[in-house]
Each structure stands twice: as C-alpha cells, then as structure tokens.
A and B are shown apart, each in its own frame.
Chain A
Amino acid sequence: MLIDVLYFAALRERIGHARERCDVPADVATVAELQRWLAARGAPWAEAFAQTTRVRAAVNQAMAQPDTPLAEGAEVAFFPPVTGG
C-alpha cells in the first residue's frame, strides 16, 4: 500500500531528504514494522535510525506508538523527541 513518509530535524539531516512516497508490502502494518522496513534498505536509513536516540512517530499528524496500525494513504512522520517551548 502507498504511504507518505516524512522526516524531521536531525533524522531528516541524516537521511538527506524530507519526504518520500513508499509502496510497502502488506506485512508492513504498523509504525514499528515500517521503521524496520525502511532501515532494512541500508544507508542512509539504517544509520539514521540507529544514530537517533528514541525515534518518535506520528500517523496522520497524531503522535503514534510502535504498534499504531497503518492504512492506505497514511502520512507517517519520524522524528527525534520534540524540543519546543
């Protein structure tokens, strides 16, 4: 299924681009599975995720957990812990 993946802050810098459209297999059904699938591509994703402490995610612009499910057309963002305020 088609998913939009966004990267922010230090994670985006390590990967080298801010967003991409992914066509993921049916067994990539959660946030954690998507992260593993991206890291399995190798560089730069593998290093970027490994070097970022406590990667966080949002699905459709709401904070998500590793087991948050993904649906067709979802917007999934990965980022380091937030530091606003």
Chain B
Amino acid sequence: MAVRVQQAAFDAGREMDALRAGNPQVGAVACFVGVVRDFNDDASGKCGGKAVATLTLEHYPGMTEKALADIEAQARARWSLCDVLVVHRVGTLAPTEPIVLVVTTSAHRGEAFAACQFIMDYLKTDAPFWKKEATPQGTRWVDARATDDAARARWEKP
C-alpha cells in the first residue's frame, strides 16, 4: 500500500515490476499514467485550444497524502486487490511529461482494471491538487470539469 507525492519523474514500468515483485499470487497488473498535453482544451472542451508551455501543480501538503491514502483504502475495501501504488507529481512540468501513476495488482483482471479507474475517478474530484497552465497568452488556472464529477458519481450508483 503506497502513496507518493513528489517532484521527480517516475518510471511506470519499473514501478509496476517493483509492485508485483515477490508476489506470485498476482495474476493481473493494471496501470494508468496521466500525461501533460501540449494543447489545452478550447471553450467547448475539445482538443486544439491554446498551446501549453508548462503545467504547474500546486497541492495541500499533508492533506494530499491523506486524501490519496483514503481513496486507496476505499478501493481495497471494494475489490480484492494484492497491492496499489499511486504516485502524483507536483511542481512545474512540460508537455509529454508524466503527471500521475496508478498501479493496481490482483489475482484476476476485473478487480485490477476496476480499482485503477475508480482510484483515478476519485483522485480527479477529491485529491487537493490544482493545475495552472502557462501559455504564450499568460497563465491560467485549469477549471474542474463536470465530466469528472459524473465519472465519480457513477461508482456510487446502487
């Protein structure tokens, strides 16, 4: 069970290997990597808006780790998992750099896939990070999206 908030980049492949190392019960490894894009979305939410030069991630030290650990605990309570790793970067990142990593391991693929998506959907609405884009036109705080609230809400339907 691990949650890391860090400035340094991560190597997804190495983290996946490390997470399942020494556990022959793992039959499935699911992984998500979020990456900085070079264009933000235009007003309609589609690709092809303003060019992004850098993305700066602010966070709430102390609460960030607690929120991610709580999300991981919820995933473990819902699904039978072997292990979970969440790594989220902070600081200033450039396009094509990785931002966030979620790795889940389980005996079978259903749990690993579902838990990985669940963790991302909850991270997008509940983890205290804020993104600020720098473009040639100046800086701009990224807006939260209704689609993220909807994605989280889907997990709560009976």
Chain A positions within 8 Å of B, measured between CB atoms, are 6, 8-10, 54, 58, 61-63, 77, 79-85
CB distance from B149 to the nearest CB of A (A): 9
Interface residue? B144 (CB, 8 A)? yes
Selected from A8, A10, A61, A85, the residue in CB contact (under 8 A) with B34 is: A85
Q: Which residues of B contact A80 (CB under 8 A)?
A: 130, 141, 144
Secondary structure call for the B interface: mixed
Are B129 and A77 in touch, CB under 8 angstroms? no
Number of B residues with CB within 8 Å of any CB on chain A: 27
Contact B34 A62 (CB under 8 A): no
Contact A62 B66 (CB under 8 A): yes
Beyond A63-B67, A82-B124, A84-B127, list 20 extra A-B contacts (CB 8 Å): A6-B60, A58-B128, A61-B63, A61-B66, A79-B130, A80-B141, A81-B125, A81-B143, A81-B144, A82-B126, A82-B127, A82-B129, A83-B130, A84-B59, A84-B88, A84-B100, A85-B34, A85-B88, A85-B123, A85-B127
Counting from the closest, the 4 A-B pairs by CB-CB distance are: A84-B129, A81-B144, A9-B130, A61-B63
CA distance A9 to B99 in the complex (A): 18
Ordered by A's residue number, 12 sampled pairs between the chains whose C-beta atoms are within 8 Å are A6-B60, A8-B58, A61-B62, A61-B63, A61-B66, A77-B60, A79-B128, A82-B144, A83-B142, A85-B99, A85-B100, A85-B127
- Seen from chain B, the residues whose Cβ lies within 8 Å of a Cβ on chain A are 34, 57-60, 62-63, 66-67, 88, 99-100, 120, 123-132, 141-144
With the chains together, A26 CA to B130 CA distance in Å?
33
Contact in complex: B63, A62 (CB < 8 Å)? yes
Are the CB atoms of A82 and B125 closer together than 8 Å? yes
Alpha-carbon separation in the docked complex, A10 to B132 (Å): 9
CB within 8 Å for A9 and B132 given contacts A80-B141, A84-B100, A85-B99: yes
Report the bound CA distance from A63 to B57 in whole Å.
Answer: 19
Q: Which of B66, B129, B132, B141 meets A85, CB within 8 Å?
A: B129
CB pair A85 B124 closer than 8 Å: yes
Distance between B35 CB and nearest chain A CB, rounded to angstroms = 11
CB closest chain-A residue, reference B143: A83
Indicate whether A8 sits within 8 Å of B142 (C-beta atoms), given known contacts A79-B130, A80-B130. Answer: no
